[in-house]
Amino acid sequence: MDVEGAYTLQATPEEVWKCLMDQQILRQALPEVEHLEALGENRYAIRLAVRHAPLRGSYEGLVTISDQEYPHCYRITVEGESRHGPVRGEGWVRLLRREHNTIVSYQGVLNVGRAGLLPAPMLRGTTKMLIQQFFLGLADQLRAMRPPEIAEASEGTAQPDQVSAQRQERAWLPETIRASESGLPAGGRTLLHSLVRRLHLGGGDPQAEERWVQAIRRTAMLAVLLLLVWVGTRLPRRLLA
């Protein structure tokens, strides 16, 4: 599975790089991490407990950082095991300065378990969500490191599509961005998706909203089927009468 994306953080590339290489900060920012231990220079043992389907379960493995070019890019390699099977991944993380902010982009390949056992759209959506949670946590750590007056000034100039600690910010994102983050195509949103969002059935979580949409569709199909069966049982009686 190809994995790629980009996030904007309100910090310099040097500050972001320092956080990405700090074991304590990573432990705080990584979602659902149970254990993180440095085994040597740029090599970590990690254990995660993922609670989101279809990746639900425990994951253990090694993360290696290599080919570093401070503070611009580095290569990351993941090897591990899970209840779904082996986990293998590798890719590049790049930091690009944009005025006083940093655009962090990532691109790589991630394979979990044996091919075909996990539904690709849900796998991609859950992976996106976990990565986003990581960047939200990283933004929290960066904000905590900055003096209060600087943090307040940067908050006043924040753009809607920048990652920040404010979870409500997702509601400001354009529809195409929210769709891509949830693993759906930009044009894949339907009237039912809009209805679910207006009723706040998913609490703003794209994955939860998609589950509500699928549940409503299944219920509607069942209702139509029952209606057809009811009509089929009544129609002959009326004809005979």
Domain count of the fold of the chain: 2
Calpha distance 128→107 (Å, rounded): 12
Ranges 23-37, 84-98, 219-233: which has the least confidence:
219-233
In this structure, the answer to whether residues 178 and 203 fall within a common structural domain is no
Query: 112 vs 212, which has greater pLDDT?
Result: 112
* pTM of the entire predicted model: 0.60
In this structure, the answer to whether residues 38 and 134 fall within a common structural domain is yes
Domain stops at, among 141, 172, 187: 187
Check pLDDT > 50 for residue 155: no
Distances (CA, A) of 125 to 59, 96, 145, 148, 205: 18, 25, 31, 35, 11
pLDDT of residue 234: 62
Q: Show Cβ contacts of residue 47 under 8 Å, excluding neighbours closer than 6 positions.
A: 33, 34, 35, 36, 58, 59, 60
Calpha distance 103→172 (Å, rounded): 19
In this structure, the answer to whether residues 180 and 204 fall within a common structural domain is no
In this structure, the answer to whether residues 141 and 105 fall within a common structural domain is yes
In this structure, the answer to whether residues 6 and 108 fall within a common structural domain is yes
Domain stops at, among 187, 206, 230: 187
Query: 178 vs 223, which has greater pLDDT?
Result: 223
pLDDT tens per residue, range 101-137: 999 999 999 988 776 567 777 778 888 888 999 999 9
Q: Show the domain range for 231.
A: 190-241
Check pLDDT > 80 for residue 5: yes
Strand 101-112 to 43-50 pairing: unpaired
Q: Which residue has the tokens 């307040």?
A: 152
In this structure, the answer to whether residues 66 and 183 fall within a common structural domain is yes
- What is the pLDDT averaged over residues 30-59? 88
In this structure, the answer to whether residues 214 and 103 fall within a common structural domain is no
Calpha distance 111→123 (Å, rounded): 10
Check pLDDT > 50 for residue 38: yes
CA 3: distance to chain centroid? 11
Q: Which residue has the tokens 């790629």?
A: 4
Q: How confident is the model at residue 228 (pLDDT cuts 50, 70, 90)?
A: low
In this structure, the answer to whether residues 10 and 90 fall within a common structural domain is yes
Domain of 108, CATH number, reads 3.30.530.20
- What is the pLDDT averaged over residues 38-51? 90
In this structure, the answer to whether residues 123 and 71 fall within a common structural domain is yes
Calpha distance 10→85 (Å, rounded): 37
In this structure, the answer to whether residues 166 and 124 fall within a common structural domain is yes
- Decide: residue 182, CB within 10 A, 0-12 exposed, 13-18 middle, 19+ buried: buried
In this structure, the answer to whether residues 144 and 95 fall within a common structural domain is yes
In this structure, the answer to whether residues 136 and 194 fall within a common structural domain is no
Helical packing angle, 13-20 and 120-145, nearest 10°: 110
Q: Which residue has the tokens 């590049």?
A: 92
Q: How confident is the model at residue 189 (pLDDT cuts 50, 70, 90)?
A: low
